Amino acid sequence: MSTSYLIKNVAVLGGTPSDLLLQDGVIRDAADAPADAEVIDATGLIALPGLVDLHTHLREPGREDAETVDTGTQAAALGGFTAVFAMANTEPVADTAGVVEQVWRLGREAGHCDVYPIGAVTVGLQGERLAELGAMADSAARVRVFSDDGKCVSDAVLMRRALEYVKAFDGVIAQHAQEPRLTEGAQMNEGELSGRLGLAGWPAVAEEAIIARDVLLAEHVGSRLHVCHVSTAGSVDIVRWAKSKGVDVTAEACPHHLLLTDQLAATYDPIYKVNPPLRSQTDVEALRAGLADGTIDIVATDHAPHPHEDKDCEWAAAAFGMIGLETALSIVQQTMVDAGLLDWAGVAERMSYAPARIGRVAEHGRPIEVGEPANVVLYDPAATRTVDPSESASLSRNTPYRGMELPGRVVATFLRGKATVLDGKLA
């Protein structure tokens, strides 16, 4: 008999405090709480549906020195996530049913949150021919999201075929929008600062040109498109236009793009090196506005762990990416909720309901109501904390928020009624 939890006085989506009973994996009427239920006093806490991250790099198989499914999902649980989608750029690449099933099983064994593997669009992420998308869709991992993330499906014909092909099993292509020729050797946002620092520029147009092409392709073939890590004001405008035309496109923004700007590159500290790069303050504000008005559907972390030596070197030699599972909700609170741009119901939509819908996962992203799966996170928005990389559950330490004071704290996370995090620690 598993433990039941009676959560007292919790503000669901920041609303009027009430009680919640989590029993046998589902949410039940608190009035029916058994006498032996474990009582959690949640006064001052809010309840959100378990968060869903559509964009996580778990690095296993292949780079277990950077992250494993076990450690990455621990970080996810501590960040309030009950489901993560694991990107395909592992070694070997997740481009066959065998690899996606392996990742899926590792997630089940770890048990900290549900792991949904993303399949590669093309064999070996090489952008030359389609991987066996149908085999991955039909596998035990039930893949619905396909992405060559880290690389762009830049060939227009291949992208068209991929968009068409996945319609057979209601899949979606999640595009890493980066025109490769415009970004050869690119190191940071192209602008006045890149010129001064002598770092090769990654122009906004290299992202926007691909998004513009892809929304037109998606419209033409009547397919579903998801745009990964939108980073520029122009991209927000294109997605907004495409949605106004009825194109079936969704888009994500990453927490770091909602908070940080390219000015940090002036430190030459590659902790701030990420792809797509940190952009200007104008871009940051456009992303926040787009996330607020729904042009950008979701927040996804692009949690990208790297071992210390891959960041402890000169900028051009360093790896792209930053970790972000444990800080995502705090950054959304700071940049969106505390800024008055989004309420907690909006956060639930952007970080739970919508990513689950896009990923076609029925058991996550459900409202906190009687009869629904007991995937719940308890969060203290009044808390503050100073980010200490050494406290991360991730194997990697490449957080750009070191030493920053961030609002909020995940107090508890429940996956199907089982606590994965209690009192801010792994249960």
Partner 1 sequence: MKRHLLSAADLSRDDAELVLTTADEMRSLADRPIKKLPALRGRTVVNLFFEDSTRTRISFEAAAKRLSADVINFSAKGSSLSKGESLKDTALTLEAMGADAVVVRHGSSGAPHLLAHSGWVRSSVVNAGDGTHEHPTQALLDAFTMWKHLGESKPGGLEGRKVAIVGDVLHSRVARSNALLLQTLGAEVTLVAPPTLLPVGIEGWPVETSYDLDSVLPKADAVMMLRVQRERMHGGFFPTAREYSRRYGLDGKRMAMLQDHTIVMHPGPMVRGMEITADVADSDRSVIVEQVTNGVAVRMAVLYLLLGGSEPAVGGEE
Please report, in angstroms and rounded to a whole number, the separation of the first and last CA atoms in the chain.
17
Tokens representing residue 419 in the block = 């606590």
Closest CB to partner 1 among residues 39, 317: 317
Strands 418-422 and 405-415: antiparallel
# residues contacting partner 1 (CB under 8 A): 24
* x-marked contacts with partner 1 along 263-302 as a string, rule CB under 8 A: ----xxx---------------------------------
Whether 302 is catalytic is yes
Which residue from 231, 268, 228 is spatially nearest to 252, judged by alpha carbons?
Answer: 228
320 binds partner 1 (CB under 8 A): no
Tokens representing residue 323 in the block = 């970790």
Query: What's the alpha-carbon Rg for the chain, to the nearest Å?
Result: 20
Give me the least distance between CB of 319 and partner 1, in Å please.
13
Closest CB to partner 1 among residues 199, 351: 199
203 binds partner 1 (CB under 8 A): yes
Question: For residues 107-121, b (16+ Cβ closer than 10 Å) or e, as one string?
Answer: beebebbbbbbbbbb
Supply the DSSP string of 317-354, one letter for each residue.
GSPP-B--TTTHHHHHIIIIITTTS--HHHHHIIIIIH
For residues 420 and 413, give the distance between their C-alpha atoms in angstroms, rounded to a whole number. Answer: 6
Applying CB under 8 A, among 1, 16, 314, 390 the residue interacting with partner 1 is 314
CA atoms within 13 A on the CB side of 48: 29
Q: Is the peptide bond before 61 cis (omega within 30 degrees of 0)?
A: yes
Cβ-contact 403, 386 below 8 angstroms: yes
Closest CB to partner 1 among residues 202, 379: 202
For residues 419 and 56, give the distance between their C-alpha atoms in angstroms, rounded to a whole number. Answer: 22
Q: Considering the candidates 53, 148, 214, 302, report the single residue annotated as catalytic.
A: 302
CA atoms within 13 A on the CB side of 328: 33
Closest CB to partner 1 among residues 199, 247: 199
* x-marked contacts with partner 1 along 123-162 as a string, rule CB under 8 A: ----------------------------------------
234 binds partner 1 (CB under 8 A): no
3-state secondary structure of 225: strand
403 binds partner 1 (CB under 8 A): no
Applying CB under 8 A, among 38, 41, 91, 192 the residue interacting with partner 1 is 192
Give me the least distance between CB of 209 and partner 1, in Å please.
16
Tokens representing residue 16 in the block = 């009027």
Give me the least distance between CB of 234 and partner 1, in Å please.
15
Applying CB under 8 A, among 38, 170, 312, 369 the residue interacting with partner 1 is 312
208 binds partner 1 (CB under 8 A): no
313 binds partner 1 (CB under 8 A): yes
183 binds partner 1 (CB under 8 A): no
Binding site for partner 1 (CB under 8 A): 187, 190-201, 203, 267-269, 309, 312-317
- Residues tagged active-site: 302
